[in-house]
Amino acid sequence: MLDLLIKGGVVLFPIVVLSVIALALIIERSIFFFRIREDNPDLGGYIVEQLRSGHAAKVIGELKQHNSPEASVLLEGIKTWREKQTPGTIHMHMESRALRNAGELEKNVPYLSSIANLTTLLGLLGTVTGMIVSFLNLKVSGISDPALLAGGISQAMITTAAGLTVAIPSLLFFHIFRQIVNKTISRMEIATSELLSLLSKSKSKPKRQD
């Protein structure tokens, strides 16, 4: 490994550093998304039905046991509703909570895309510098010493391979995480809409329970 680092030249070192950062980000985000996953795909619909049956206190207790963003948005809305706030105020509270959740969901995800781009460019830079070294060695030694030419080409190939090795999984996980973020935000919006639709209809307002 050390021999490859030496052969790869100076450009290989930032690629290695970025690979460590990318791995740390992937692990951190994977743990985070696993922790906040929601097992009930229709949590909003379930909560609305429970509220229609007058089980507000039960619903609050259940939502507190969930770690998902949509659960926290629903919990914020129900708590505000029980404080006898208007639908507009409830909407603002839920929207504020949803925005904070969206910020937490998107945390560190864009860095993976940046790392993928940077490592690709660094690999290309290593390729270019490696070829320059090869042609300079060829100019100095002529064609009598192909080993010098091979050394520069080797440096070019090592940095290219290293850059792509880091860029490909970084870009893959970036898109995976983006899909998770988008789906979670969509579920928060649906849950918000379902709850507000219930609370805005006077005839369908759930019974309050203390």
Does residue 151 fall inside a structural domain?
Answer: yes
* pLDDT confidence of residue 203: 41
Q: Per 3-state DSSP, what percentage of the chain is helix, strand, and coil (rounded to 5)?
A: 85, 0, 15
53, part of any domain: yes
Q: Which residues does the chain have with pLDDT short of 70?
A: 1-9, 133-152, 154-155, 201-210
In a domain, 208, yes or no: no
Q: What is the pTM of this model?
A: 0.81
Structural domain boundaries enclosing 115: 2-201
Residue 111: inside a domain, yes or no?
A: yes
- Cα–Cα distance measured from residue 22 to residue 176, given in angstroms and rounded to the nearest whole number: 14
Nearest alpha carbon to residue 163 among 6, 12, 37: 12
Q: Residue 145: its pLDDT value, please?
A: 58
CA distance 6 to 12: 8
pLDDT at 86: 82
Considering the domain boundaries, does residue 42 fall inside one? yes
Is 207 a member of any domain? no
Domain membership flag for residue 125: yes
Q: Coil, strand, or helix at residue 107?
A: coil
Look at the chain and report how many structural domains it folds into: 1
Residue 120 lies in a domain: yes
* DSSP code at position 41: T
**Residue 124 has what pLDDT?**
87
Q: For position 126, what pLDDT does the model report? A: 83
